[in-house]
Chains A and B, each alone.
Chain A
Amino acid sequence: MAQAQQKTDRQADDATVVSMTGVNKWFGQFHVLRDINLTVQKGERIVICGPSGSGKSTLIRCLNRLERHQDGEIRVHGIELNNDVKNIEEIRREVGMVFQHFNLFPHLSILENCMLAPVWVRKMPKAEAEEIAMHFLDRVKIPEQAHKYPGQLSGGQQQRVAIARALCMQPQLMLFDEPTSALDPEMIKEVLDTMVELAESGMTMLCVTHEMGFARKVANRVIFMDEGQIVEQNEPEAFFNNPQSDRTKLFLSQILGH
């Protein structure tokens, strides 16, 4: 425990949050991730886009071991992701994730959803966890829903709760896996606003999304993936105005064309 603490402290001043070197992954015969090399610095906001099935979700899901890679090295805060459960649990404590389908716990109230991990994983006293939960619910602008259950909230509200739940662990890195894809058009904006606000607060973010407006507005870097590879990455202005690869051009023309 003490050792682990030291390790985290040592990494805290290191600016590299994620490093992926030569990562490969297969689903059975299917090669989903091919030679992925990616470094994320503290405070960076990266948008990953690409056609469906290109491996972008799989990539970020590898970063907290929801999927395991078969080859290459992944380090998060300097801790290597391997079969050691201790490492995995340590990394998951520092990495928040927001899912396409929210994945809130339906049997717990909004407040309990937010307090669960701080209380059980961080061993925080209940009163403190509640204070933190209310702080973040306030930040995503739904403190008044704290005692309702997820099923009573709209999709947009649920997704904002999911963001608050992840933030309650006070993570160093936030992963977003298509956070607006399951939402009605009129609710997308409220979630994006929350994400923009989060980005402005300096959070390190990795977002898989099709919201190109969001990418232009907050991203430092846009990564385009196709067929399991990183095809192109660049600053948003250059990426959108002057794409280099044909595949990127085709993709952009398809999603921006209408």
Chain B
Amino acid sequence: MAKETQRQSKVGMPVAFVRREEAPLLPPPPSQAGLIGWLYKNIFASMSDFGSIGAAVKSVLMAGLTVILLYFLATQFYGLLDFALFSAVWSDPDGVKREACWTVEQGGALPAGWHAACWPYIAAKAKFIFYGAYPEDQLWRVNFAYVVGAVMLVWVMIERLPYRKPVGLLLLTAYPVLATVLLTGGGFGLSATTVGIYTILGLAAITFGRLGKLGRITGPLADLAQIAGVAGWVLIFLAAILVLVGVDFNLPAVDTRDWGGLLITLVVAITGIVASLPLGIVLALGRRSEMPVARFLSTVFIEFWRGVPLITVLFMASVMLPLFMPEGVNFDMLLRALIGVTLFSAAYMAEVVRGGLQAIDKGQYEGADAVGLSYWQSMRLVILPQALTHVIPGIVNTFIGLFKDTALVSIVGIFDLLGAAQSTLADPAWSTPVQGITGYLVVGMLFFIFCFGMSRYSMYMERKLSRGHKR
């Protein structure tokens, strides 16, 4: 201590200091703010240090590399634009089909060496690429289902609109029924007995549940009554669905074998996405449960479905499953694929959600317990909102993976977007060297639009949900 004082006094620095006036608050230098700041931080920061020879060499190299990369990007991007837009053939006014996209060497009118998109081919095949073999005069049903779904989805996503919750609820309950009826034609002619049994069972379960609530049922049966109360409503709901899809709306039936193209991709992906998230959440909770049976079953389910390739699942569903079924029982092929895809991605989803649950501080569970919330309340109100927010990137990752994996259903004879586009390539009437590239370009663009859309929306959600409670 004494040494320190000596040293300071030797240098002549005063030890005591009292600030008499406030240090002024200054605006940041231009390299920190505004457009210049942005450019500096994001582009020029690595190439503007000329303090030493080494730094100067690095700066120059960086600048050179940037220019080269920009040039490379620009030419590639121009090449793509040129292929898809500038040099492309846009119409086939004479109705000559493939010859519209032939060069002089091939017998057409286009200059030699021409290589660009052939859009008339896409126009001619658009119906098949988007709807498969769905009957032409019934397409309005698909489009109507699209429009209703899109309007409801957008409604739920825009925060300023009123009634978002009821619309969301309808989107998850009534809309699937509506879409099923519209797309298949409904009128499944399910027996009145089935509906009757569901209704009676449902009413009985609800009554049992009510009795439990009123305290008429005690002991171990009380918990059962609580579950029965919920199950009863589910049964009634199922009965209502059965009635709705059973009613004959006078729509011609369209077999799912005639569905195809983007329609199949959307049906499989959306069903998979909507069903796999709740299923995954339940499985994740099950795997972390303190009840050994729930934990064991969830773990077995997850490990089984994660350990099998999706292709195997689809093959099993299409080839093996019918062998185990009794004679005459026949599941719809698309339904089988849907179930396979859903269970498969639910297993992945479960692990993503479990990661989020793992990241929640033990104090949050204790805080929720201490104020008296029940297990399900604390999960729904405290734990899951935080856990799911943490893993939005992982969830959307699984969604996007699922969306693209739908292309695999084409190996069991279901024509999804990719499968449908591929099958149009076999048409000799449009056979040209650029046919394949044009087709795949369209498929790629469509996949990209949906996946990129999901990605952007998830980033928006992340920003929105992290607002206010950053730690």
Contact = CB atoms under 8 A, between A and B. Distances in A.
Contacts of A102: 363
A191 interface: no
A74 to B, nearest CB: 16
A176 B361 CA distance: 19
Interface in B201-239: 215
B366 interface: yes
Contacts of B363: 99, 101-103
A97 B372 CA distance: 10
Interface in A66-113: 66, 85, 89, 92-93, 95-97, 99, 101-107, 109
B385 interface: yes
B381 interface: yes
28 contacts: A64-B369, A65-B369, A66-B369, A66-B370, A85-B374, A89-B372, A93-B372, A96-B370, A96-B371, A103-B367, A103-B370, A105-B367, A105-B368, A105-B386, A106-B471, A107-B386, A107-B465, A107-B469, A109-B468, A116-B373, A117-B371, A120-B373, A120-B381, A121-B372, A150-B469, A151-B471, A165-B371, A169-B372
Nearest to A98: B370
A149 interface: yes
Nearest to B465: A107
A166 interface: yes
B256 interface: no
A256 interface: no
Given A116-B381, A151-B468, A151-B470, A121 B373 contact: yes
Q: Is the interface of B mostly helix, strand, loop or mixed?
A: helix
Interface in B372-414: 372-374, 377, 381-382, 385-386, 389
A104 B366 CA distance: 10
A93 B377 CA distance: 14
A66 B470 contact: no
Which of A65, A96, A106 gathers the greatest number of chain B CB atoms within 10 Å? A106
A117 B370 CA distance: 10
Which 3 pairs show the lowest CB-CB distances between chains A and B?
A103-B367, A117-B371, A103-B363
B469 A106 contact: yes
A42 B321 CA distance: 67
Interface string B188-209: 0000000000000000000000
Given A92-B372, A121-B373, A151-B471, 16 more contacts: A2-B215, A65-B369, A66-B369, A89-B374, A92-B369, A92-B370, A92-B371, A96-B371, A105-B382, A106-B469, A107-B469, A116-B381, A117-B371, A117-B373, A166-B370, A169-B372
A250 interface: no
Interface string A129-144: 0000000000000000
A192 B395 CA distance: 44
Contact of A103 (B364, B372, B385, B386): B364
B371 A166 contact: yes
A153 to B, nearest CB: 11
A234 B370 CA distance: 29
Contacts of A11: none
Interface of B: 215, 361, 363-364, 366-374, 377, 381-382, 385-386, 389, 465, 468-471
B371 A121 contact: yes
B215 A1 contact: yes
Which of A95, A104, A105 gathers the greatest number of chain B CB atoms within 10 Å? A105
A42 B364 CA distance: 29
A120 B368 CA distance: 11
A66 B377 CA distance: 17
Given A99-B363, A99-B366, A107-B389, A149 B469 contact: yes
B335 to A, nearest CB: 38
A170 B221 CA distance: 31
Contacts of B468: 109, 148-149, 151-152
Contacts of A121: 371-374, 377
A201 interface: no
B377 A120 contact: yes
Contacts of B367: 99, 103-105
A29 interface: no
Contacts of B369: 64-66, 92
A211 B377 CA distance: 35
Nearest to A120: B377
B386 A106 contact: yes
B90 to A, nearest CB: 52
Nearest to B386: A107
A99 B64 CA distance: 58
